[in-house]
Structure 1
Amino acid sequence: MVGSSTRLGEAEDEEFDSVLGIVGDGIVGAAGGLVGTALMTVVLLIAESLGAFDREAFALLTRLVGLEEVVPPVLFGYVIFLGGGMFPWPLLFASLEQYLPGEWEPVRGAFFGAAIWTGFVLAFHTEQTGVSLVLYVVLTLLAHLVYGAGLGLVFDYFSSRPDSIV
Structure 2
Amino acid sequence: MHRALAALVAGAVATMVMSAALAIFEVQTRYAIGIFQAIARFVRMPDSVFLGFVVYALVGTVAWPLLFVSLKPYVPLDLDPAVAGMLFALPLWIAFAIVGRGDVTGAIVVLFVGFTLLAHLAYGFVLGAVYASLADEHA
TM range (shorter): 0.7 to 0.9
Structure 1: gaps of 5 or more residues? 1-20, 162-166
TM-score, with length taken from structure 1: 0.70
2:3 aligns to what? 25
Percentage of matched positions with identical amino acids? 30
Counterpart of 2:132 in structure 1 is 156
Counterparts of 2:119 and 2:35, CA distance in 1: 15
Q: CA deviation at 1:25?
A: 2.3
Give the Å deviation of 1:142: 0.8
Please give the residue correspondences for 1:31-70 in structure 2 after superposition, counting only pairs within 5 Å: 31-51=9-29, 54=32, 56-62=34-40, 64=43, 66=45, 68=47
Report how many aligned residue pairs link the two structures: 135
Change in 2 beyond 3 A, CA 1:25/1:65 = farther
Larger-gyration structure (1/2): 1
**What aligned pairs does 1:108-147 form with structure 2 within 5 A after superposition?**
108-147=84-123
RMSD after superposition: 2.5
TM-score, normalised to structure 2, is 0.82
Q: Deviations over 1:95-143 (max 9, x none)?
A: 2224175621111101111121111100011232332111100011111
Partner of 2:83: 107
Provide the C-alpha distance between the structure 1 equivalents of 2:53 and 2:36, rounded to a whole number of angstroms.
6
46-55 or 76-85, larger mean C-alpha shift = 46-55
**What is the alpha-carbon distance in structure 1 between the residues aligned to residue 39 and residue 62 of structure 2?**
16
Runs (5+) with no aligned partner, structure 2: none
